[in-house]
Amino acid sequence: QVQLVESGGGLVQPGGSLRLSCAGSGFTVSTYAMSWYRQAPGKERELVASITNVGDGTNYADSAKDRFTISRDNAKNTVYLQMNSLKPEDTAVYYCNALKLSKVYWGQGTQVTVSS
């Protein structure tokens, strides 16, 4: 059974850091393009960062560039999102996504709240 489980969310003050984890099971993360999305209250889900399954090329939303880093640990079948210099506008539910050809998988999401 394919499953993606996010963890690492929580409450953090502005300027703080969090590392989100996305653990895959039932498939091999290294063979999929992996992405982090987020959805804030009252807004549509948006792409934050992605990493390819060829050469670990990465892409970031403008709002995340230079603050967030997506990475992969193939031995642990896990993808990470390191988030630094967090801002209140980063508050959202963060979702892990896996994509290869016609196959797409989603995690349940983890809450990130940035507040004083």
Indicate whether 55 pLDDT > 90: no
C-alpha radius of gyration, the chain, whole number: 13
Indicate whether 49 pLDDT > 90: yes
- Confidence label for 13 from pLDDT (cuts 50, 70 and 90): very high
pLDDT tens digit string along 65-81?
Answer: 999 999 999 999 999 99
- Would you call 72 helix, strand, or coil by DSSP? strand
- Confidence label for 56 from pLDDT (cuts 50, 70 and 90): confident
**Run of H or E including 102:** none
In 3D, which of 33, 41, 52 has the Cα closest to residue 97? Answer: 33
Q: Measured between alpha carbons, how far is 41 from 30 in angstroms, rounded to an integer? A: 31
pLDDT at 100: 95
Indicate whether 28 pLDDT > 90: yes
Spatial neighbors of 52 by CB under 8 A, at least 6 apart, are 33, 58
